[in-house]
Amino acid sequence: MIDPTKAVVLEKRRAAAFVTLNRPDVLNALDPGMAAALHTTLVDVSVDEDVRCVVLRGAGKGFMAGGDVDFFRRSLHRLSSGDPQVLTAIFDDVHGSIRTLRRTPKPVVASVHGAVAGFGLSLLAACDLAIAAEDSVFTLAYCRIGASPDGGATFALPRTVGVKRSMELALLGDRFDAHRALSLGLVNWVVPAAQLPKKTEELAMRLTQGPAVAYAQTKALINASFDNDLDQQLDRERAAFLECAESDDFAEGVTAFSEKRPPRFRGR
C-alpha cells in the first residue's frame, strides 16, 4: 500500500528498490517537496548495500507530467522582480537526483506509463534502461511554458537520439507515443499497460541476480565513453576488467560456465 502522505515512496523487494513518484492528483508534477524527497531517496538507495537495482515509476495515471505549473505561477512575482532564489533549492535537488542516477553503480530502470513530460522525460533519459506501457505519451514540453530544458535533457538526448532529433523534441515540444520512443532509443521495451508491473518486476529481479561489480564497471565505462578517446577508453576497459576479475562474481561466473550451470552471483 502506497502512503498517500508521501511525495516519494520507497519499497524494497528482495534486492530491488522501487521508488514511486506519488502526487497522482497532479500526474506526479514536480514541486519542491517532491524534488527534495526524490533526491534524498535516490541518495539513500544508491549507498544501500542491500540494494542491487533501482526502479523509478509513477503512481496513478502517469509517470510524471513535468514541473508543477501552479508552483511556477505562484512564483512569478518573485521571478519577474529578479529574485531567482525561489527556484534555487529545487534545482539543487533536481540536478542532484540526475547526478545520483548517472553515478550510482546500480542499474536504474524507468518504468513509465501515461504522461512522461518535461522533467519526467529528463528523468527517463537519465536511467540506464526503460520499459514503457503502450499508453505512454511523451513530450519534452519545456518550450510550451517558455522555458529551456533542465534535468540533464540537453546532455542525455543528443547522446541518445542525436542532435537533430533533440532539437526537434526541444524546439517543437510535440507529443509522441511509446512506439516512437522505442524507435528513438528512449525506451528499451514497450508492453501492454496491464503487463507493465509484471514485466518491470521480472526485469528488476533479473538485474538483482546479475554480477553487481561487472554491472557497476559496465555502467561507468559506457557513461565515460563520450568523454574519452579510444586509447583512454581502452585503458579504462583494462582497469575495469581487472577489477571484475578480482571479484567473487568473476570466480563464480567462470566456474559456473565451466560446470555448465547457471551462475549464482552474490555481488562482490
The share of the chain scoring above pLDDT 70, in percent, equals 99
The mean pLDDT of 113-128, rounded to a whole number, is 97
Grid coordinates of 232: 583512454
The mean pLDDT of 78-99, rounded to a whole number, is 84
- Give pLDDT, residue 78: 78
Grid coordinates of 2: 502506497
The one-letter amino acid at 14: R
Domain ranges of the chain: 8-208, 212-258
- Give pLDDT, residue 1: 60
CATH entry, 212-258, from 1.10.3470, 1.10.12, 1.10.287, 3.30.160: 1.10.12
Q: In angstroms, how far is the first alpha carbon of the chain from the final one?
A: 33
pLDDT class of 233 with cuts at 50, 70, 90: very high
- Give pLDDT, residue 267: 64
Instruction: Decide which of 3 and 99 is more confident.
Output: 99
> Residue 185: is its pLDDT beyond 80?
yes
Instruction: Please tell me the CATH code under which domain 8-208 is placed.
Output: 3.90.226.10
Full-model pTM: 0.93
136 closest CA partner among 54, 71, 53, 200: 200
The share of the chain scoring above pLDDT 90, in percent, equals 87
- Quote the mean pLDDT of the chain: 94
